[in-house]
Amino acid sequence: MKKIITGALALLLLGTVVSCKKEAKTQSSVSTDTLATVLPKDSNVTPKTDSVTVTTPSTGATLEIITKNEEKYPHDVKLFEDKSFAERVKKLVGKEYDMMLKNFNVEGPIVSDNGIYKIHGCKQHDCPGYATYIYYDSKNDNLNVSIDKDGKVTDFAEKGKITVSKTLETK
């Protein structure tokens, strides 16, 4: 009889532990964001999207990812995952794009001065060996990329060279 009671208590205790773990997992998978829509993984329902986000934005609005994220880091805002930004940079630098992206490991925040924005990234453990500067003139919707490989600088400009202030250079 003692074995039966001990066995029953062990099963009860085990059931409680398993139940608590299961409940904790369920609670942690739900977002605390009230705007998030959580769909079951096997759901075939696709969330509705706003027509504004589905349509291709005009050229003037394509780089809002830069202008709306000043002082944030490119990685944090997924800058190179933004289709509009990535397409423009790819078109501008051509075959250099993959190498530039590969070496954009150490980065500074997006900074600006008088409507000109600067994004800087360089190769980890070798910043002087490979550094990239991306400038965006929000007033003229002009993008420039400057790639420095061991002191040899190659400049790429969409609509002409952007004049960068001394203040922005030092940021």
> pLDDT 10s digit of each residue in the chain, 171 long?
666 776 665 666 555 544 444 444 444 444 444 333 344 444 444 444 443 322 333 344 458 999 999 999 999 999 999 999 999 999 999 999 999 999 999 999 999 999 999 999 999 999 999 999 999 999 999 999 999 999 999 999 999 999 999 999 999
**Beta carbons of 143 and 63 less than 8 angstroms apart:** yes
Distance of CA 124 to the CA centre of its chain: 18
**Residue 71 within any structural domain of the chain:** yes
Q: Tell me what pLDDT residue 5 has.
A: 74
**Beta carbons of 82 and 66 less than 8 angstroms apart:** no
**Residue 109 within any structural domain of the chain:** yes
**Residue 11 within any structural domain of the chain:** no
Q: Tell me what pLDDT residue 34 has.
A: 37
Q: Tell me what pLDDT residue 40 has.
A: 43
**Residue 86 within any structural domain of the chain:** yes
Q: Tell me what pLDDT residue 56 has.
A: 34
pTM of the model: 0.65
**Residue 16 within any structural domain of the chain:** no
Q: Tell me what pLDDT residue 4 has.
A: 75
For residue 17 the two structure tokens come to 């532990």
**Residue 21 within any structural domain of the chain:** no
Determine the structural domain holding residue 142 and report its residue range: 51-170
Number of compact structural domains in the chain: 1
DSSP state at residue 80: G
Q: Tell me what pLDDT residue 136 has.
A: 97
Q: Tell me what pLDDT residue 39 has.
A: 41
**Residue 133 within any structural domain of the chain:** yes
**Residue 6 within any structural domain of the chain:** no
Calpha distance 126→149 (Å, rounded): 10
